[in-house]
Amino acid sequence: MFDEHKKGTLLVLSGPSGVGKNTLINSFLSRNPDIHYSISATTRKPRPQEQDGINYYFLSPNKFHTMVDKGDFLEWAEFCGNYYGTPYPPIEAALNAGQDVIMDIEIQGAKQVKEKREDAVLIFLVPPSVEELARRIRNRKTETDVEIEARLNKALIEMEEGRMYDYYLVHDNTEQTVEELEAIRKTEDKRIKRINWDFVVSTYKGKGGI
Amino acid sequence: MRIQPYLDDLEEIVPSRYSMVIGVSKRARKLMEENVASPYPGVTKPVSVAMWEMKENKIKLIERPAEKKEETPSRRVQEFEDLDS
């Protein structure tokens, strides 16, 4: 499984807020424990069931910007008044160790990842419909009506950004979407650019009398 | 328990972010290959375990000076010594 002659695959998941990235990722991770999940850093306040260092690193704004200055982030972005960023060292370590990584980030962040890691696989998650998206955001009961309105308007603008991604998934039924995500991972794991091809060739040398 | 230690804590222990990444990566690979169970509650991923081990000085980075004959810019080879086994 951890073929040492292969670099890990970096799966980057983005999508309009409220499309259910967390639901999808939690289900995906529970079925695929061998993948490393990237914990993001944020300056936003924790939601009720969220814990520091488990769901997010909850940082003060100036702590966050110190990390920005030190280049500790693979990407970072401001979203709805808060900052979000992806600490790079754990991801680099996992990929170097041949382990696949999945991260869920804001859309502006995905551009930065693509620039720094052209081998990253960008997956855009879309809701089955805008009505469904509104229902999911309202269901979360973490936003006021005004905030929901802002998120929905933002979602429409964000849909445009999907253009630069590699794959898109419609998140209607979670289990089915998880299976599609697993299929993308399996396929991308076969990409030769992540494999030490010299090693693969060497395994054929001196065999069968050639 | 947090899944990973804060990067600042690690950056104090190791000479550079580069060596931290290489050290954690090599340790994580070993943990995976030897299917080592995580001694830390709630911490399951090999990279996270390796980071905690580094933070608690359970593993130490040994940087061998680059041999003279290397033509490429002297990239010091980082190995690690597994203190607790």
CB atoms within 10 A of CB B66: 13
**Which residue range(s) make up the domain with B18?**
7-55
Which residues are within 8 A (CB) of B33 and not within 5 positions of it... i.e. 6 or more apart?
A: A2, A4
Burial class (CB in 10 A: 0-12, 13-18, 19+), A168: middle
Q: Say what the ipTM of the complex is.
A: 0.72
Which stretches of chain A are assigned E, i.e. beta strand? 10-14, 36-37, 40-42, 56-58, 73-79, 82-87, 101-104, 121-126, 167-170
Which residue in the block uniquely carries the two structure tokens 């940087």? B63
Run of H or E including B81? strand B77-82
Contacts of A67 in chain B (CB under 8 A): 7
Domain membership of residue B25 (yes or no) is: yes
**Does the CB of A36 have a partner CB in chain B at under 8 Å?**
yes
CA distances from A156 to A12, A16, A104, A153, B83 (A): 20, 8, 19, 5, 54
B24 vs A37: CB contact, 8 Å cut-off?
no
Mean pLDDT computed over A83-95: 94
Chain A closest-CA separation from residue B29 CA (Å): 5
Domain membership of residue B31 (yes or no) is: yes
Strand partners, A168: A124
Domain membership of residue B28 (yes or no) is: yes
Residue pLDDT, tens place only, A113-136: 999 999 999 999 999 998 888 888
Exposure class string for A36-74: b at 16+ Cβ within 10 A, else e: bbbbbbbbeeeeeeeeeeebbbbbeeeebeebeeeebbb
Residue pLDDT, tens place only, A37-65: 999 999 999 988 888 888 889 999 999 99
**Does the CB of A29 have a partner CB in chain B at under 8 Å?**
no
Which stretches of A4-99 are assigned E, i.e. beta strand? 10-14, 36-37, 40-42, 56-58, 73-79, 82-87
Q: Smallest Cβ distance to A39: which of B4, B21, B32?
A: B4
Contacts of B2 in chain A (CB under 8 A): 52-54
Q: What topology does CATH give the domain A10-38+99-206? A: Rossmann fold (3.40.50)
Chain mean pLDDT for chain B: 78
CA distances from A191 to A9, A116, A164, A166, A181 (A): 9, 18, 20, 14, 16
A4 vs B29: CB contact, 8 Å cut-off?
yes
Q: Which two tokens stand for residue A53?
A: 């260092």
> DSSP letter at A5?
T
Domain membership of residue B33 (yes or no) is: yes
Q: For chain A, which residues make up each domain, given as ranges?
A: 10-38+99-206
Mapped onto helix, strand or coil, the DSSP state of residue A158 is helix
CA A6 from centre of chain? 20
Q: Taking 50 as the threshold, does the pLDDT of residue B77 lie above it? A: no
Domain membership of residue B65 (yes or no) is: no
Q: Which two tokens stand for residue A94?
A: 């996992």
Domain membership of residue B69 (yes or no) is: no
A99 vs B32: CB contact, 8 Å cut-off?
yes
Domain membership of residue B32 (yes or no) is: yes
Most confidently modeled of A97-106, A150-159, A197-206, B58-67? A97-106
Report the domain count for chain B.
1
Domain membership of residue B2 (yes or no) is: no
Q: How confident is the model at residue A147 (pLDDT cuts 50, 70, 90)?
A: confident
**Does the CB of A53 have a partner CB in chain B at under 8 Å?**
yes
